[in-house]
Amino acid sequence: MTADPLKFTPPVLLAPMAGITDLPYRSLVARFGAGLVVSEMVASQELLSRRPGTREKAELGLGVVGTSVQLAGREAEPMAEAARMVEAMGAEIIDINMGCPAKKVTQGASGSALMKTPDHALRLIEAVVGAVNVPVTLKTRLGWDDNMLNAAPIAKRAVDAGVQMITIHGRTRCQFYKGHADWAAIRAVKEAVSVPVIANGDITSSQNARQALALSGADGVMIGRGAQGRPWLLAQIAHDLYGYPAPEVPTGAAFADMVAEHFEAILQFYGRDLGGRVARKHLGWYMDHAGTPADLRRALLTAREVDTTFALIAAAMTPEHAVAA
């Protein structure tokens, strides 16, 4: 492999989030500025069986620079075949999911459940690395639980197999999203491998991004839930920590226009019926940022007609409701 996954700059990445980091949202975050945007998790078996929806999740779109597609699975050959498929579709980087804590994923021996079977996990990693010519990365957690904190040895074996970057969410699987991410615990992974390590978990501002880097020794940060409703957050962190140009954070009418454009992109991607439902969570997060009154919020989220939704977006994102970024 000749590609270097850390040629992307800045080292501020968008985390894969199921049902959130679809093409419209990745495109919006990338427009503000991000070193890498990662797709929502794509199940390898579903992709291969052409189950409705999975191809759309993996779709990259032309002009989206610095994109990774995250694959999940429990068997080596389907993972390898799915990796070849998404490479052919234009994936620049393929990420292996060993961090998802959801029961429906771990009960199928995928996601963070693979941390309980490191030898089997390594066979999956080797299969994916051997199947493609683009860089392969790995995202995982600190371990399955407090009695199985094995991220560092797994990371070392993965790097020996050809993985070129490791992202660590600073929790165990059994923590799910409770408590606070342990950024200091990521340092053991950084000391175990020679490739870049990215810190993930609870990074919601430039201040705690700087703290996460200091405690973990990591080479960059990955932002997930902190960017919900604030697609410019990655660019803001890149500016504050690395001196990249500051994003133009939209306010007032500009903020309403951005939300309307995102809504329109969602409708075009999914169709009007499904798109209207998919958009609600994003509209909710935007209204959290804007401080929209409860009655207007309720009206927007229950609107049945697209034209009504567009009109309410303009009202809900007005300057007098804006809050600080």
**Annotated binding site for FMN, which residues?**
16-18, 70, 139, 169, 224-225
Residue 100: active-site member: yes
Question: Which residues are CB-neighbours of 52 under 8 A, at least 6 positions away?
Answer: none
Separation CA 82–CA 41 (nearest Å): 12
Q: φ, ψ for residue 37 (rounded to 5)?
A: -120, 135
Residue 30's identity, in one-letter code, is A
CB distance 316 to 287 below 8 Å: yes
- From the number of C-beta atoms within 10 Å of its C-beta (0-12, 13-18, 19+), residue 225 rates as middle
Question: Which residues are CB-neighbours of 89 under 8 A, at least 6 positions away?
Answer: 58, 59, 60, 69
Separation CA 142–CA 135 (nearest Å): 23
| Catalytic residue of the set 76, 100, 121, 265 | 100
| Active-site residue list | 100
